[in-house]
Structure 1
Amino acid sequence: MTKETSAPSPSVSERNAYVSTTGPRPAKQTTFREWVVTNQIGIPLTILAMLLALHNLYPSLRPYTQPFFQLSYYDPATDQYVQGWDDIYFVISAAIALTAIRAIAIEWVLQPLARCAGLKRKGSIRLAEQGWQAMYYGFIWAVGLYLWKNSHYWFDFGAIWVKWPARPLSGALKWYLLVELAFLVQQIFVIHVEERRKDHYQMFSHHVITSTLLTSAYIYGFYNVSNVVLCLMDIVDFLLPSAKILKYLKFELACNVAFGVFMATWFVTRHILYNVLCWSIYKNVPAQMAYGCYSGSSATMISTDGYPNAFAYMFGPFQSLENPICMNRSIKWIFLSFLLCLQGLSIVWFSMIVRVAYGVVRTGNAEDTRSDEEDEVTVDTQTAANGSIHLTANGANTAPVADSTSGLDRRATSVRARGRGRVPFDQSDRKALLGRIGCEKPT
């Protein structure tokens, strides 16, 4: 009779190792960025609610909390405002409020409407993002156009510089400029906390240049030129999202017409009127603004020396409203250089748009592949029948001058996601350019 040998029992460490490898995996920890993205409604509303509670419950704190909720530096004698450091608080609170409004509009209003229109989850998200862009830029452009239309410099670029260096401005103009600055600050926040787009660094550079230019122009009292520049820029940022919305809703003809209007408007506003404005700075500023230093409070000339104290004079207006404000060739060229940098970006983007549009119309052969971050995507094959240009319904959210542009729809292919938010483009220049403006193969 043979004696069976029993296998040695596993040790405690071996049992623990077995359980740890076969049991459920621990949940992935949420990063700070993901937590911020998930709570884009709750965080801003909580901050604003706390400020509002402090403002109402503790009257002694109102001198500190009031600048968050209303414009500062009001002069009842003239019924106008001037600028100052407390304006920073209004910009901060406006940026926080815009973050909450954007999230509410996308998640609670636009996305449900898109689902009701028959769009699937990813399409509804993209329509909602473009819808928010159209809502904001449509509203703020209308406000800016109203201010420009009712001003003394309506399409008279030489008159923009007549009243400088008068520092007071109306409440409506001050609110408009500070909200525009707050939106730029909020956009810098958005592009860093949400999934990075293909043109992340271009957009970051654009927002930094624009916000720096707008802040400096505000401090130096260049309100009028700021109003004109923003009007010329914002109309394009309204038209492109509108065209993409039409594409998502499958209004192909309307989308093509809207995209044609977008291209024409871009060329007229950003490459004709904008350059006329830059020429006005070069030509009219010396004629309308005598070089020298002026009193920050009375706007009277106090010195014909436009270069006092080396470079310190440039930062005087940033430190106090009472400090002298000077104008000379250096200051003129600093502001003009910033504007020309924006023009350079616009030329690069528009050359992409024109080259792609020409290639699609002429050859009707522009295809591309791209990976979405989640679901498997299938798009029916379509045959090129004419030379019309379409905007994609499955594009990423990228934009020149705060514009949003998107990539290609897939053609007769079904691929799985290969990464979150990555858009791999073919090395072909035409295909890559096509993806930049959101055109697709003609149908």
Structure 2
Amino acid sequence: MISCRSSDTGGLGKAAGIAPSNNERLNGANGTHKPYKRAKPRTENDGLFTYLCMQLCEHQVGIAVNLLSLLFLTHIFFPRARQHTRKFYHLSYYNAENGKYGCGTDDLAYVALWLVLFVGLRVAVMDYVLAPLARCGGIRTKKGLVRFQEQAWLVCYCVCSWSLGMYILWNSEYFFNLHGMWKGWPFREICGLSKFYYLAQWAFWIAQILVVNIEEKRKDYAEMFTHHIFTIALLFLSYGYYHTRVGIVILCIMDLVDIVLPTAKLLKYMGYANICDIFFGLFVVVWLVTRQAFFPMVIYSVYKHSPIDMEPGCYFADGTMVAANETERYDALGGNVVWPNLVKAYTDREGPVCWNPTIRFSFLTLLLCLQAIIFLWFCMIVRVVVNVIRGNSADDVRSDDEGDDEEMEDVKTGYEAHHVAAAPLEQEVGVESLNFASRKSMNANGAAAVRRSKNQRSTRSSGISIPGHGDHKELLGRIGCDKPS
């Protein structure tokens, strides 16, 4: 998926007497890190919604800190509000008798808190932790810095989430036991660690909807966005239908790939070509095992095992049930309806929840759609492997250019600035428009104009402050705020 060979041209522009690179301007004169923050002025053509979208993208840390501070201060200084604010800080529906937690609408507040935390934490870690590490690793370009931060953040999160998920699976009765995902359903109460893991993952994938629209758009933006939508829908429905066990299994299956591939990209950005090749080969193996073997096995279990281990019927909170063959009572309890049962945890926690074949095929449809997207990515991987076998480099077919063109950007800018400044400009003007400025000033202005034009053409957004958008229509179009022209 990635090109593991790239030439290091760091310092070439500086040696040639060319203007400082974007990365050098980011670091400052003394070599210390200075977050690249620049607020966009509001113009007359910007509506309120447009302005708010831009502020959201450019001030993610500030907005997150302000929201969290407001919630904390409300909780501290307004005791009457604590019955509402407490649900943001604590897992809801605790049962002291068995030490487990139920599921319900109050959990959405906890998801909202972690959504804000992930948005702010992502930017803060990228800006103040990963950016210095990128420079220590030899990253020489602004685009390389942004790519390193994005991939390193994904590695940091997925290592934590996958480790926690595997710990939960290892200590569960359904570790490598497909039947264990269904026996005993509905799982109205789960342990606190499993609930925290599920809600945190849910919040993370909601945050990814924002991230995928802030980061540089890849060639598979539509597939990635659709993947996130299906993932969030499955988390929402499986939690509302007490199917958290199968959800935890799928999350663990998916997270492992998101550790190996970004790690390979990080090695590529730092110039470790041989280790990058090894991790690319490991990525292909991990993908085949997890997403082309384990995940289809889970889908098969939904189809084959769930009807065996889960008898069709309506299940009550006290453990009793009404079988589907008791047609009159089963229909009266809503046994044949779909949506009210899928969201039972949010609408009627203590009421009966019913299982029927239509619901099973609904989950199968969502999982098969997710598998279809995964198969499209697998086809891309096969193309890359074929290219490698033929002796070509392992280019990432789903990304825009991430390699050598990026590192030569500053040199090319200086070259263009020199020739534009030196070339004569023929234009018909009036006498009053003549400007007898010095040649030195004209050269400086010409180089600055070319640099501004180059920056506008090579706009990149890191999700940190989104610098370099001279004309912010591109930014607004990416976040869905710009009106079509």
Q: Deviations over 1:193-231 (max 9, x none)?
A: 455443332222111111011111111111110011000
Against the structure 1 CA distance between its residues 262 and 43, is the aligned structure 2 distance closer, same or farther, given a 3 Å change threshold? same
Q: Match of 1:86, as an amino acid?
A: D
| Higher relative contact order structure (alpha carbons within 8 Å, sequence separation ≥ 6) | 2
**Is 1:409 aligned to 2:429, yes or no?**
no
Aligned length: 362
Name which of 69, 74, 86 aligns with 2:94.
Answer: 74
Matched, 1:224 2:245: yes
Matches within 5 A, 1:107-256: 107-120=127-140, 121-194=142-215, 196-256=217-277
Partner of 1:273: 294
Q: Kindly indicate whether the alpha-carbon contact (under 8 Å) linking 1:161 and 1:285 is maintained by their aligned counterparts in 2.
A: yes
Cα separation, 2, equivalents of 1:406 and 1:70:
42
Shift of 1:313: 4.3
1:331: which partner in 2?
A: 359
**Unmatched 5+ stretches in structure 1:** 1-25, 365-388, 399-404, 423-443
Aligned-partner SS, 1:41: helix
Q: CA deviation at 1:70?
A: 1.3
3-state SS in 1 of match to 2:314: strand
Superposition RMSD in Å: 2.4
Deviation at 1:316, TM superposition (A): 5.8
Per-residue deviation, 1:307: 5.3
In structure 2, C-alpha distance between the alignment counterparts of 1:209 and 1:27, rounded to whole Å: 37
Share of identical aligned residues, percent? 34
SS of equivalent residue, structure 1 residue 293? strand
1-structure distance, mates of 2:360, 2:52: 43
How far does residue 174 in structure 1 lie from its aligned partner after superposition?
0.2
**TM-score, with length taken from structure 1:** 0.76
Gaps of 5+ in 2: 1-39, 413-453, 462-485
**CA distance, structure 2, for counterparts of residue 408 and residue 54 of structure 1:** 46
Deviation of 1:117 after TM superposition, in Å, equals 2.7
Matched, 1:87 2:107: yes
Letter in 2 for 1:191: V
One-letter amino acid matched to 1:122: K
What's 1:56 paired with? 76
The separation in 1 between residues aligned to 2:243 and 2:373, in whole angstroms, is: 22
Q: Which secondary structure state, in structure 1, belongs to the residue aligned with residue 60 of structure 2?
A: coil
Give the deviation of 1:410 after TM superposition: 4.2
Matches within 5 A, 1:414-433: 418=457, 420=459
Query: Shift in Å at residue 276 of structure 1?
Result: 1.2
User: How far 1:409 moved relative to its partner?
Assistant: 2.4
Does the residue aligned with 2:367 lie in a helix, a strand or coil?
helix
Contact 1:164 1:289 in 2 (8 A): yes
CA distance in 2, matches of 1:148, 1:354: 31
Distance in 2, Cα, partners of 1:193 & 1:181:
19
Match 1:358 to one of 368, 386, 408: 386
